[in-house]
Structure 1
Amino acid sequence: MSIRPILSQSRATPTVEGAGVNLHRAFGFHDPKAHDPFLLFDDFRGEQPSDYLAGFPWHPHRGIETITYVLAGEVEHGDSLGNTGRLGAGDVQWMTAGSGIMHQEMPTGNAAGQMHGFQLWANLPSSLKMTAPRYQDIKGSDIPVVVDDDGTVVRVIVGDFWGKSGPVDGIAADPQYLDISVPPGVKKTFSVDTYKSTFAYVFEGAGAFADASAPEGVRLEKEVMGQEVNIRDLSGNRTVIRFGTGDEITVQAGEDGVRFLLVSGAPIREPVAWHGPIVMNTPDELRQAMADLRNGTFIRPEH
């Protein structure tokens, strides 16, 4: 077994999206190879309605899949195909934009006025860029929850983990998407596919992730899974950790425990031509998508 090295570790940065939603972006709109097949990851979290009520009015997508995971509040959505729905706390939506879709996402808070959710963009390979759009809306009650003897809790949203399979399927990146809570002081190791791109996003508490190739000056943990490995300083709220190749990650939870998303997917390794919510393979395909938007042919009637 080999612990994955930490390639980068950074805090999500504040930004404004949609019609005026305040959120934090962990990555996106920079190097599309860094997290391949994932393109963008946003943490939209508000304590008052003015942070999020403006929402994300009608906008297009083509060539990608979007994954929305709601922790608090609700997100009402509608699209150009006539689909409508509402995501509540614990619910997940995986939308395959494919050849093109127009949709809107409008968040509302809970009784205390709070809203919290995540959105991840996954690229589609060239062979599926123009596939028919589709949705998978998953209720939180249908997501398997695994509780280990030490109190670790894992919600298996996508992929197979500890004998459970997530309810979202048929995704091009063959991903694994886990919501993991590790109790205070507990050290835990999780297996991941050796060659899948993997990142962790801490959003509650703090934890120290083992690093097989940490630079000098970081704290050294003597015994982790029987070998000497480097441990970085505690990673706290809104920290994204990008891992290199290996088949496991180890985290030591801090005094308040740690909760994080662990996401992995098979790299596509294709050229990326990207403009806003449209991601194609070539500049010509991107220009065609923009022309389709202008002349009203963005939505394919055969779909």
Structure 2
Amino acid sequence: MHTQRTIRRLIPAVDSLDGAGVKLKRSVGRNPASRIDPFLMLDAFSSDNPDDYIAGFPAHPHRGFETVTYMLDGHMLHRDHLGNEGHLRAGGVQWMRAGRGVIHEERPQQEQGLLRGFQLWLNLPAAEKMLPADYQNIEPEQILHYRHEGVEIRMIAGEVELAGERLRGPVETSTTEAIYLDLSLAAGEQISLPLPAEHRAFIYLFEGEARLGEEALPMHTASELSEGNLLQLSAANEPARMLVIAGKAINEPVAQYGPFVMNTMQEVEQAIADYRDNRLTD
């Protein structure tokens, strides 16, 4: 039996600054009440002015969660405390498990001035927060592309079944079993997209006009969804493009101080002390 999901809550993005003055729009995670378990934060960055982003994100620490960087335009250079370096191209994804700790820097690079993409913070359960840091660098060519008539899906993580075909992204996820897809609909096109009933989910529309059932999806807003197992999505009189993100709730306390996300403030204080004493990644 199919139960259609509806919009439960709207979390409009607000203009924010991060790193060394990078301009972005933050929806999920703009304050503690706007988290959607297991998702801690979603930032959208888009500019054709290099002054808005070229200073990048100087060396900074993380502990206790995963970061997912998805580039649409431009590219990003990444380097960490171990000397690992990565080059994230347009269409590619870096899925980083900070785990016990990582200290890294991200340097946006322009292409004809344009930089556009997203960064998602995904919480880890207590049992996985202190695992060693790990990276999955997914090249654009590795992303599963599904195309049928006016529907295009870039399947980054998780899996869904569509018209008898199982679509599976290249990323290996944690026990949250996250689903992350980039959905494009031609003008007037529609799709019935199944999602696991046990997953919390939201949609982030960033191009065009679209509806979930009879409800309009606001632009640059995280539309948190009700329970159910089916999304009925349609584009209006112009093409639409959106992220569909879902995952199993962790249902554990969240204690956060900047880039440290643990279960208790005592654990956060330990992370701060470890960073101060150069023991964060030991």
TM-score bin (small chain): over 0.9
- 2:115 matched to which residue of 1? 115
- The amino acid that maps onto 1:154 is I
Alpha-carbon separation, structure 2, partners of 1:175 and 1:205: 25
Deviation at 1:33, TM superposition (A): 7.7
Residue 246 of structure 1 is aligned with which of 192, 212, 228? 228
Matched with 1:279 is 261
Q: After the TM superposition, list the runs of 4 or more consecutive aligned residues in structure 1 that deviate by more than 2 angstroms.
A: 29-34
Larger Rg: 1
Kindly state the Cα deviation for residue 31 of structure 1 after the two structures are TM-superposed: 3.0
Cα deviations by residue, 1:183-207 (Å, 9 ceiling, x for unpaired):
1012221100101010111111110
Query: Following superposition of structure 1 onto structure 2, how do residues 85-104 of structure 1 map, counting pairs within 5 Å?
Result: 85-104=86-105
Residues 52-109 of structure 1: per-residue CA shift (max 9 Å, x gap): 1010010000000000000000100000122101101000000000000100111011
Distance change (3 Å), C-alpha of 1:155 and 1:200: same
The equivalent residue for 2:175 is: 172
Aligned equivalents of 1:5, 1:31: Cα separation in 2 = 23
Q: Where in structure 1 are there 5+ consecutive unaligned residues?
A: 211-230
CA distance in 2, matches of 1:65, 1:184: 35
Please give the alpha-carbon distance, in whole angstroms, between the structure 2 residues aligned to 1:141 and 1:236.
31
Whichever residue aligns with residue 146 of structure 2, its letter is V
Identity value in percent: 39
- The residue that corresponds to 1:49 in the other structure is 50
CA 1:44–1:52: 2 relative to 1, 3 Å: same
Q: Secondary structure at the match of 2:250?
A: coil
Cα distance, 1:29 vs structure 2: 4.6
- Name the counterpart of 1:213: none
Counterpart amino acid of residue 151 in structure 2: T
Residue 93 and residue 8 in structure 1: after superposition, are their counterparts in 2 closer, same or farther (change >3 A)?
A: same
Moved more, 283-292 or 159-168: 159-168
1:232 aligns with 2:215: yes
Q: How many residues align?
A: 277
The gaps in structure 2 that reach 5 residues or longer are none
